[in-house]
């Protein structure tokens, strides 16, 4: 079964609208949700929890904070969709901050798909997660997610990446972007973006294993001519 991006949903809150952010989604049971969450002015692990109205279980995969005066906290969360249909995902944030979430729904991933992840922070126009360890299998989804402290950026996706989404949050408070690609080799992977303005940044890469290909129908039993003749005489 191929890996397919089914939907992308965005939700954003300002710094003056409380400590929760809700995203309305309608995922299909058996698919997998990957959330790229960014918080302006937040500390590392600014997202206290994520829950939804279907009792799906959300898990933090990775987080990185640029640790500058402006600060941006970038986090990846995941959830297998055990119960689908109309749903509201609610993020609880530590403190009142600008926050943005991209919710991506994928089909074709393994039941427990997370394989490798890595994160990094720096300053400049070249965002890079650094390289993951060698992948466990050849057929995997690679997610890149990152952001920069100050607003006004535009991003270019890294080599081989597509499905780029990006946003300027809070009238220039900070910027964030997400990308993906599918690979067919076990080579270590790096998420990268090129930003239009030099700035402090944070970046994450994570890889997710594809589901195993379904096995074919069982082979028909093979009979010898002698066995067929015996069967016809009974």
Each of the 234 residues of the chain gets a pLDDT tens digit; together they read 799 999 999 999 988 788 999 999 999 999 999 999 999 887 889 999 999 999 999 999 999 998 665 688 999 999 999 999 999 999 999 988 899 999 999 999 999 999 999 999 999 999 999 999 999 999 999 999 999 987 788 999 999 999 999 998 877 778 999 999 999 999 999 999 999 999 899 999 999 999 998 765 555 544 444 444 444 444
| Confidence (pLDDT) at 67 | 67
What domain range includes position 123? 4-213
Domain annotation covers residue 231 = no
Domain annotation covers residue 189 = yes
| Confidence (pLDDT) at 17 | 83
| Confidence (pLDDT) at 151 | 76
Q: What is the DSSP letter of 158?
A: P
Provide the β-strand partners of residue 157: 193
Residue 119 to residue 55: CA distance in whole angstroms: 29
Q: Residue 211 in contact with residue 141, Cβ under 8 Å?
A: no
Domain annotation covers residue 227 = no
The whole model's pTM is what? 0.89
Q: What are phi and psi of 228, to 5 degrees?
A: -65, -40
Domain annotation covers residue 86 = yes
| Confidence (pLDDT) at 20 | 96
Residue 166 to residue 179: CA distance in whole angstroms: 9
Across the chain, the runs of DSSP E, i.e. the strands, are: 4-13, 20-25, 32-40, 47-52, 59-65, 72-80, 87-93, 99-107, 109-131, 139-148, 155-157, 162-169, 174-184, 190-210
Domain annotation covers residue 228 = no
Domain annotation covers residue 222 = no
> Domain tally for the chain?
1
Length of the chain: 234
How many alpha carbons fall within 13 Å on the CB side of residue 223? 8
């Amino acid at each position: 079964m191929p890996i397919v991006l089914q939907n992308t949903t965005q939700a954003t809150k300002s710094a003056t609208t409380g400590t929760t952010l809700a995203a309305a989604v309608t995922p299909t049971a058996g698919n997998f949700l990957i959330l790229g969450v960014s918080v302006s002015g937040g500390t590392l692990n600014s997202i206290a929890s994520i829950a939804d109205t279907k009792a799906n279980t959300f898990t933090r995969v990775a987080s990185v904070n640029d640790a500058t005066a402006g600060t941006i906290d970038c986090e990846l969360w995941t959830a297998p969709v055990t119960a689908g249909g109309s749903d509201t995902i609610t993020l609880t944030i530590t403190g009142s901050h600008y926050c943005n979430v991209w919710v991506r729904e994928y089909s074709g991933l393994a039941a427990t798909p997370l394989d490798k992840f890595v994160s990094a922070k720096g300053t400049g126009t070249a965002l890079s997660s650094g390289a993951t360890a060698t992948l466990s299998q050849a057929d995997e989804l690679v997610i890149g997610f990152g952001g920069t402290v100050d607003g006004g950026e535009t991003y270019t996706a890294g080599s081989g990446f597509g499905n780029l989404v990006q946003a300027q949050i809070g009238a220039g408070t900070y910027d964030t972007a997400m990308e993906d690609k599918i690979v067919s080799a076990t080579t270590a992977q790096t998420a990268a973006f090129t930003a239009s303005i030099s700035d402090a940044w944070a970046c994450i890469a994570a890889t997710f294993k594809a589901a195993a290909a379904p096995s074919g129908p069982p082979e028909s039993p093979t009979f010898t001519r002698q066995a067929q003749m015996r069967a016809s005489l009974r």
